[in-house]
Structure 1
Amino acid sequence: MKKTLILTTALVSFAFAANADVTVMSWGGAYGEAQTEAHVKPWAAATGNAAVMVDSDNPAPAIKAMVEAGNVTVDVASVEYADAIRLCDEGMLEPIDASTLPAGTDGTPATEDFLPGAVTECGVSTDIWSNVFAYDSSKLTGDNVPKTAADFFDLTKFPGKRGLKKGAKAVLEFALIADGVPVGEIYAVLDTPEGVDRAFAKLDTIKSEVVWWEAGAQPPQLLADGEVVMTTAYNGRIFNAAIGEGKPFTIVWDGQIYENEMYVVPKGAPNKDLAMEFIKYATSTEGLRAQAQNISYGPARKSSMKEELIFKDGKTVMAPHLPTAPENLGNALETSATFWVDHDAELNERFQAWLSQ
């Protein structure tokens, strides 16, 4: 019954999208809501063009399927950095002219205002987000709380189920960090057969206790339901549950794995020109500030950080909750898009084989 309801909702969403001027596909949940409130609704109000948000557990495969089928119903999609590069290389995305992006509100040209790597041939960063892990501070208290990535894998000190994303990316890196590999050496190690074996060997130590998740909304629910003692998650989802909904959840930043999220335009988008205008609006100084005031992902423009960011509750200062906060970067890893463009298929094949063993 649950699957039927989800499918019905998706069909209704796409039926409505067919009559919209611009359709944006994102990840749903708190993230999709943040982009809707910061980008979709304000852009529609400012331009008079209709716009709608549709959800996906992962927009990249959906976009690729649409382009390959020659039936593209989405104008803008929010995808992970490596997917933006890979889809661009495969000819699945429209190029974006960086020179057309608006200058910062302080007059800084966009090419100088965006952080390094935040603008690619086919994508523009909407934010910097991270994979973290979190626990319920009403159940783990005092000195007996996890503080490091290694603690996530310590079933003796912290017995109980673990939530992990069902995929190779960020999971293999996290395992190596927990196993003591310095963050500066992670991809050099993971680029060897021995390094891959080491990552899976670390995962073997908790495999029997793992609850696998696939959608970003699942980890907070796993914690709330007491199904896991701790779980990896997207940092913004935990922030929204903790600050927005008052859940007693605490993020552990040690071993966080962060990257840019990108807006892209699928090849053959029905409203390509309007899609480009939407991206210019959404990734402006104020567009990125507005998103960061709705969810705790860091803006990719320097000008967006010139003034203090306050959460939509009007009182929570966002800076300490961002992946890019200096105090949160002590043992952080930036995802290597190049590595995952080259190795995604083979490592996910290995991951699926390992799951079935």
Structure 2
Amino acid sequence: MCAFTLVLAAPLIAPLAAPATAQAAELSVVTFGGAFEAAVKQAYFDPFTQETGTNFRLEAYDGGLARLAAMVQAGNPTWDLVDMESNDALAACEEGLLQPLDTAEMGDLSDFIPGAVGDCAIATMVWSTIFAYDQSLLTEGPTTLADFFDIEQFPGKRGMRRNPKVAMEWALIADGVPPREVYSLLATEEGMNRAFAKLDTIKSEIIWWEAGAQPPQLLADGAVVMTQAYNGRILDAAKQEGKPFEIVWDAQVYDYEWWGIPMGARNAETAERFIAYASQPEVLARLPRYIAYAPPREKAIELVDPELLADLPTAPENFTNALQLDSNFWIDHFDTINTRFQVWLAQQ
């Protein structure tokens, strides 16, 4: 398995931005779209274009490795840079779908949050799965994850991603399992049984979603009283659209988002230069101005406006009882758990 261990780079020996004539005219970039893509465009892409003359051709996808694998295996990748969730980045590195990163020009990376720099990918932000509710509908809203599973005190529909990841972790935490013990228990038959039993208590009230844009819309439409969601999507709806949404940070499950370069990418050199640029503390610190995702390195976090920091997953008051998503666990156990999850979904 490809190890995503912290990499310590050599001192900075070359400028991060070369003259425009040395750059590719265009980078083909694949992201998850939506509010995150819009924020990255303002924080990273547009400034890089201004400095180097390199333009970006953007495409949105929902993750997964099928298209990437097909491109690489055919020897004709049309993507130069891919925005990836942790499990996809780990698997892609292991399968040889991403080229190894040369960090020699990126300076000292030791202040990156542990695990945020890998052999084939580097984290660009910290995001979190939380749950949220509409304050206009619940004057006394939920405050803990246990409230999400309490349909007597808080009756109504719940939105959840149609995926066992986070659903299983939350079920165990809501059932009293300390976050530090979740994955060791979930690896057992007893743990899975316990998680599904807890999910059974709200199964009839769940509206399942698949795309990150759906939870804010479910709340706005009144289809659910509370929903699992990505923190940036909810904050964007609250601040940009004025929605009366409130985040509950208890038992947030946080993870990294990664940049990776497909093996054989046509503009790999320029893509790697962009990654080096976008990994600088002062550049990473721009992202929270546009979306509530946290920089993955300490020097960048120090540069974030305190008012913006309060909305980030890693703010001290939000980080209590947080759980880091264990991507290695899900690579090893996803197929087994998901098979049972799909059977459970189909049962009345």
* Pairing 1:322–2:312 present: yes
1:339 corresponds to which of 329, 340, 343: 329
Which deviates the most, 41-50 or 250-259?
Answer: 41-50
1:59 to 1:75, Cα distance in 2 relative to 1, 3 A: farther
Hey, what's the Cα distance between the residues in 2 that align with 1:75 and 1:21?
A: 9
TM-score (norm 1): 0.87
Superimposed CA distance per residue, residues 51-85 of structure 1 (whole angstroms, 9 cap, x where no aligned partner): 12211122544423433454422111111112211
Structure 1 letter corresponding to 2:91: R
Return the offset for 1:174: 1.1
- What pairs up with 1:233-312 in 2 under 5 angstroms? 233-309=229-305
**Structure 1 SS opposite 2:250:** strand
* Match of residue 132, structure 1, among 130, 133, 140: 130
- In structure 2, the partner of 1:21 is 26
CA distance in 1, matches of 2:330, 2:283: 29
Cα distance, 1:61–1:283 mapped onto 2, change above 3 Å:
farther
Q: Is the 8 A contact 1:78 1:261 kept in 2?
A: yes
Amino acid at match of 2:163: G
Q: Deviations over 1:265-311 (max 9, x none)?
A: 1122221111111111112112211112211111012111223427x
Equivalence map 1:98-109=2 (5 Å):
98-101=103-106, 103=107, 109=108
Matched residue SS, 2:286:
helix
Distance (Å, rounded) in 1 between the aligned partners of 2:153 and 2:183: 29
The two structures, once aligned, show a CA RMSD in angstroms of 1.6
Work out whether residues 63 and 88 of structure 2, in 8 Å CA contact, stay in contact via their aligned partners in 1.
no
Residue in structure 2 matched with residue 79 of structure 1 by the alignment: 84
Distance 2:174 2:150 in 1: 10
Alignment pair present for 1:49 and 2:54: yes
**8 Å CA contact retained: 1:27, 1:59:** no
Structure 1 Cα separation of the partners of residues 81 and 235 of structure 2: 26
The 3-state SS of whatever aligns with 1:304 is helix
Q: Counterpart of 1:96 in 2: which secondary structure? A: coil
- Following the alignment from structure 1 to structure 2, what is the Cα–Cα distance between the partners of residues 231 and 65? 35
The amino acid across from 1:319 in the alignment is L
2:93 is aligned, of 70, 75, 88, to: 88
**Residue in 2 aligned with 1:58?**
63
Matched pairs, number: 324
Inter-partner Cα distance in structure 1 for 2:73 and 2:340: 25
Aligned to 1:12: none
1 CA distance for matches of 2:89 and 2:156? Answer: 36
1:291 and 1:63 map into 2 onto residues whose CA distance is 26
Question: Structure 1: which 5+ runs fail to align?
Answer: 1-18, 104-108, 311-316
Identity score, percent = 50
Check conservation: 2:282, 2:303, Cα contact below 8 A: no
How many angstroms apart in 1 are the aligned matches of 2:83 and 2:313? 19
Equivalent position of 2:19 in the other structure = none
Aligned partner of 2:202: which letter?
I
Q: Secondary structure at the match of 2:82?
A: strand
Find the aligned partners of 1:202 and 1:70 in 2 and give their Cα distance: 46
Letter in 2 for 1:135: Y
CA distance in 1, matches of 2:62, 2:104: 32
- How far apart, CA to CA, are the structure 2 residues paired with 1:197 and 1:100? 49
Where 1:201 maps in the other structure, the secondary structure is helix
Q: Secondary structure at the match of 2:164?
A: coil
Deviations 1:172-224 (A, max 9, x none): 11111111110110001111011011111111111111111111111001000
TM-score, normalization: structure 2? 0.89
Instruction: Assess if the C-alpha contact under 8 Å between 2:98 and 2:262 holds in 1.
Output: yes
The one-letter code of the counterpart of 2:230 is: Y
Aligned-residue offset at 1:226? 0.5
Structure 2 stretches lacking a partner, 5+ long: 1-23
Aligned to 1:10: none
Corresponding letter in the other structure for 2:129: N
Query: Residue type of the partner of 1:130?
Result: S
Aligned to 1:158: 154
CA contact (8 A) 1:92 1:266 kept: yes
Distance 1:309 1:71 in 2: 43
Q: Structure 1 residues 92 and 136 mapped into 2: Cα distance closer, same or farther (>3 Å)?
A: same
Contact 1:39/1:282 (CA < 8 Å) preserved in 2?
A: yes
